[in-house]
Amino acid sequence: MFTLIRFCILIFLLSFTASEIHAQKKDTKSVKRIVGQGNKSYENKNYAAADSAYRVALEKNPESVNAGFNLGDALYRQEKYQEAIETFGSLSESKLKSESSYNTGNAFLQLEQYDKAIEAYKNSLRANPSDYEAKANLSYAQKKLKEQQQQNQNQNNQDKQDNQDKQDQDKQDKQDKQDNQDKQDKQDQDKQDNQDKDKQDNQDKQNQDQDKQDQEKNNQDKQNQEEQNQAKQQQMSKQEASQILNAIENDEKRTQEKVRKLKAKQAKQNQPEKNW
């Protein structure tokens, strides 16, 4: 496990430029007193009160490295890691560079930004190469980064597999849907075919019945026609017979008339002439 945040209670053991010294001397006692109040609150784990005290000190002297550093610690304890990083970052060029970089690394570590934590620990070691805790935390951050990268790779692989599984499932669902649709279409087609077949069978039966009726009608008509023809033939036979008889009778009458005339002629010829 990485070493925890460092807290600075040093009293201005740093060297400053002339202007900084002038500004610092102006509020030295006041700033020290307020920072001291903040330190007591910090030690009592009242980090919000310590935060407020350090901010007041910074209002009086914005260049107070002690107040700025301990404000970063108070923010860290309140889990305001990003604000703590920004605060420690403002101290990157101070003589607390090693400690501020160290604490910056711890804040990045809490945010699981291991690559940035590694860089912060390296900065701390550049300022203080013999810092064992920074070395330990650097090793820990490198280990966590490797684990994170492996987890990310595993997650990426899992995401890819999940996406592939989803695509496969979507494809299978689509195929199942198509199969079901094809099955439904076939059932509908079979049903329609059966209905068409039943309809055709009914139509064929109706046609057969109609053909049968037509045939029976034709047969009846034919029979009626034959009967009519027979009746006509019989009627014609009677007429012909009557005509023949009439003709025979007429011929006989003519024959008898001829015979009568012939006899009358002969009789006339055979009469004796009168002798007057």
What is the predicted pLDDT for the residue at 65? Answer: 92
- The sign one gets for the Cα dihedral 60, 66, 72, 74 is negative
Q: What is the DSSP string of 128-159?
A: -TT-HHHHHHHHHHHHHHHHHHHHHHHHHHHH
Helices (H), 44-131: 47-60, 65-77, 81-89, 97-110, 114-127
Other residues' Cβ atoms within 10 Å of the Cβ of residue 90: 15
Question: For residue range 44-77, what is the model confidence (pLDDT) as tens digits?
Answer: 999 999 999 999 999 999 999 999 999 999 999 9
Where on the phi/psi map is residue 50: left (φ > 0), alpha (ψ -120 to 50), or beta? alpha
Read off the amino acid at residue 169.
Answer: Q
Task: Say if residue 239's pLDDT is above 90.
Answer: no
Question: For residue range 94-143, what is the model confidence (pLDDT) as tens digits?
Answer: 888 999 999 999 999 999 999 999 999 999 999 999 999 999 999 999 99
What percent of the chain has a predicted confidence (pLDDT) above 70? 86
- The sign one gets for the Cα dihedral 79, 83, 89, 90 is negative
- Tell me which CATH homologous superfamily contains domain 18-130: Tetratricopeptide repeat domain (1.25.40.10)
What is the predicted pLDDT for the residue at 9? Answer: 40
Q: Which residues contact 131 (CB under 8 A, 6 or more apart)?
A: 98, 102, 124, 125
Number of H helices, E strands in the chain: 7, 0
**Domain ranges in the chain?**
18-130
The answer to whether 125 touches 131, Cβ cutoff 8 Å, is: yes
The distance of Cα 19 from the centroid of its chain, to the nearest Å, equals: 69
Query: Over the chain, what is the mean pLDDT?
Result: 83
Per DSSP, 29 falls in state H
The answer to whether 78 touches 48, Cβ cutoff 8 Å, is: yes
> E strand or H helix at 233, and its extent?
helix 132-270
Higher pLDDT, 98 or 240: 98
